[in-house]
Structure 1
Amino acid sequence: MPTSGEHGGGGAQQGEILALLVRIIDSLESLERVQAQLVLELGRLRVTAEQGDELMDERARDGFADRCKAFGLTERESQTLAVLLTGATNRKIGRDLGITERTVKNTLHAVYVKLGVSGRSEAISKTLSNLR
């Protein structure tokens, strides 16, 4: 026959287990909410990437490369600038163009000098204003 200590300890242990299970369930519900938010954000990013692709096609049709040549940009600099205009990071630009991130940085520096700007925001602004 169990002693009174065994009953009391078992009940307390069951209470702790139940409390732990409730915390786990709450955590799972939180994770599901975070997952739903991530799915929404990934969907938005995909739409943004698709819009960027459409924007690139539009720029190509409008003679983007010709306008870049007017600034003295090389073909690689023009390509780098085109991907930059989609909002891509240096890492993504490198992946898209098959070059290293260091090469992207060096290329962008050359682009900034030729455009007469001090950074990516100014380069984007100046390029977009010249595309209009």
Structure 2
Amino acid sequence: MARSHDRALDRAITALLHEAVEHSRAMRQVLHQVGQLAALRIELTRPDENDGFPKVAANGHVLSPLTKREREVLDQLVRGRSNREIARSLGISERTVKNHLRNIFTKLGVGDRTSAVVKALGGNR
């Protein structure tokens, strides 16, 4: 009986350790992204005069594979807008926004919104 309890405890401890490792990896990724954004904020010295947001066209060579609509979606992403806000702003559905974002991530070689913004604004050079 004691051995089965020991094995159950060992499995529970192992599972918790695996979970801790995964959380640690996720936290490192988040901290890395925060660092990228902080460095980018320091680097950007010329925001657009109209609304204070830099334009994604500032890093045109990276964005050349994007369509005009994908650039519009990415510009909204730079402004920190949600999928719903982007859809409303551009007069498209949220599903279409998600499709554009998937295409943007693929074309820019990134896996998430933060990395797309960093790349669009000139980070990761």
TM-score range, shorter chain: 0.5 to 0.7
CA distance in 1, matches of 2:92, 2:102: 15
> Counterpart in 2 of 1:22?
none
- 1:93 and 2:89 aligned: no
Aligned amino acid, residue 77 of structure 1: E
Counterpart in 2 of 1:55?
52
Structure with more helix by fraction? 1
In structure 2, do the counterparts of structure 1 residues 79 and 69 end up closer, same or farther at CA, with 3 Å as the change threshold?
A: farther
| Secondary structure, counterpart of 1:55 in structure 2 | coil
**Structure 2 residues not aligned, in runs of 5+:** 1-47
> Which of the pair has the greater relative contact order for Cα pairs under 8 Å at 6+ separation?
2
Query: 1: CA distance between counterparts of 2:97 and 2:61?
Result: 17
The answer to whether the aligner puts 1:114 opposite 2:114 as a matched pair is no
Mapped partners of 1:74, 1:123: distance in 2: 15
- The 3-state SS of whatever aligns with 1:93 is helix
The offset of 1:67, in angstroms, is 1.0
Distance 2:77 2:61 in 1: 13
State the partner residue of 2:119.
126
Is the 1:77–1:107 Cα contact (8 Å) retained in structure 2? yes
TM-score after normalising by structure 1: 0.50
Secondary structure of residue in 2 paired with 1:129: coil
Could you list the structure 1 runs, at least 4 aligned residues long, displaced by more than 2 angstroms after superposition: 68-71
Select the structure of larger CA radius of gyration: 1
Cα-Cα RMSD: 2.7
